[in-house]
Amino acid sequence: MLQNTGKLGGCTIFITGASRGIGKAIALKAARDGANVVIAAKTADPHPKLPGTIYTAAAEIEAAGGKALPCIVDVRDEKQINQAVEQAVEKFGGIDILVNNASAINLTGTLETPMKKVDLMLGINLRGTYLTKNPHILNLSPPLNLNPSWFKNHTAYTMAKYGMSMCVLGMAEEFKGSIAVNALWPKTAIQTAAMDMLGGSEIGKQCRKVEIVADAAYAILKKPTSFTGQFVIDEDILKKEGVKEFDVYAVEPGHPLLPDFFLDQEPEDLAKQMEEHGATPAFKRILSPDIVKTTEAVYRFDLSGEHAGVWYIDLKNDAGSAGSGDPPTKADVIMTLDSADFIKMFGGRLKPTMAFMSGKLKIKGDMGLAIKLEKMMAMMKSKL
C-alpha cells in the first residue's frame, strides 16, 4: 500500500459524500497526514441498515490524526454548499482541495429512466461538481470512452458520469497554472453496497477495497498543480508511485478481479465474467422455466434508501427475466422496501413475510403471490 508522507498535513480538504465508502477512505488517508477534512454529506442521523454518518466519520478522522468539520450538504443545493464552504473558511482559514465523490447510480435504459431519476443523477454528478469549485479538484469520474456500448443500456447514468469528466476537461484548461483539476477512476470494481445490488453477495470476491482509491487519490493530491487535466486509473498511478503488491487491496487475494465500467471491456463481457465467477445478482438465481410455470406473476420492487430505484422479476412471461427499471408488463405485486432490506431478502437473510410483519416491507397486490415468491426463494436457496 502507498505510505503516507505528511504532504497533506495542514491542508484543508472538502470531500462530498464522505460519510462512508470511498469518500470516507480518502478522508482517513488524508487525516493520517494531519489534514483538515470537511465532511460534506447528507447522512446526519444513523441509518437503520447502513453504517456511518457525518459525525461518526468525523470521529474516525479525528482519531486518525486529522481535524474534522461535519457539514450537512446535498450537493445539488447551492445554499448548503456555500454554507459549508463558509464554515470551512471560518474554521480552517480556506480550502486547498476539493474531492467530488458524491454520486448516484441507476443503470436503466432511456425509456425506463424516470425524469426524476435523470435529474437526481445529473444533479448530483454534474451540477454538484460544477457548483463546488476550489483550488485543487479531484472528480471521481471515468475517462471519456465513447464506445456506444456504454450508452445503450444506461444513457442517463453515462451522461451524468461523463458530465463530471467533461468538467475536468474544461476546468483544467480554464484554471491551468493555478488550480489542478483531475479525474480518478478504479481499474476494477470496488466493494460497496451498490455492488451487492448489481452482482449479489458473491461479487465481493471480484472486487478491491476502497483503500486502493484512497491511496490513488492521495498520490494525485500531493502532486503540484502542473499535474492537471489527467484521467487517472488507480492502479496505473500507484504503479508509478512504486507500489508493486496489489493483492493487499483485494477483498479475496488471488481471486480474478472484475474490471470497472467505462474502460476497454464490453459491458456484456463484464456481465459474463461476473457470472462465471459466481456473482449472478441474487434475485436472478430464482429464474427457471419451471418456476415461471408455477408462479405466473410479475413482481416490482420500489426501493428507497442508499440505492433507491426500481427493480423487477418477471416470473410470468417466456423464460422469465429480471433487472432494473420497470417490468416489461404490468406488475401483479408491488413491494416497497429499503434497498438494504432488498439485498438481505435476496441474500436469504430476510424473509418477505417477516419483513412485512415488522413493517419493513409494504405489499400492494395479491398477498398470496408474495408468499409464493418466498417459497420459490427458499427452494432455490436449498439448491445453491
Which among 55, 130, 157, 299 is annotated as catalytic? 157
Pairwise CA distance, residues 186 & 208, whole Å: 9
Alpha helices, DSSP H, located in the chain: 21-31, 54-64, 78-92, 115-122, 128-131, 149-152, 155-174, 193-199, 211-221, 234-240, 267-276, 289-295, 339-346, 352-357, 367-383
Grid cell of 16 as nine digits: 462530498
Count CB-CB contacts under 10 A for residue 85. Answer: 22
Pick from 218, 243, 199: which is nearest to 346 by CA?
199
Say if strands 361-365 and 180-185 run parallel, antiparallel, or are unpaired.
Answer: unpaired
Alpha helices, DSSP H, located in 68-154: 78-92, 115-122, 128-131, 149-152
* Contact criterion met (CB below 8 Å) for 199 and 274: yes
55 is catalytic: no
124 three-state secondary structure: helix
DSSP H/E element including 136: strand 136-140
Pick from 44, 40, 51: which is nearest to 15 by CA?
40
Grid cell of 54 as nine digits: 457525518
Count CB-CB contacts under 10 A for residue 180. Answer: 24
In sequence order, which residues have a C-beta less than 8 Å from that of residue 14 and are 6 or more positions away?
38, 40, 84, 85, 88, 95, 97, 98, 99, 132, 134
Pairwise CA distance, residues 259 & 22, whole Å: 17
Residues labelled catalytic: 157
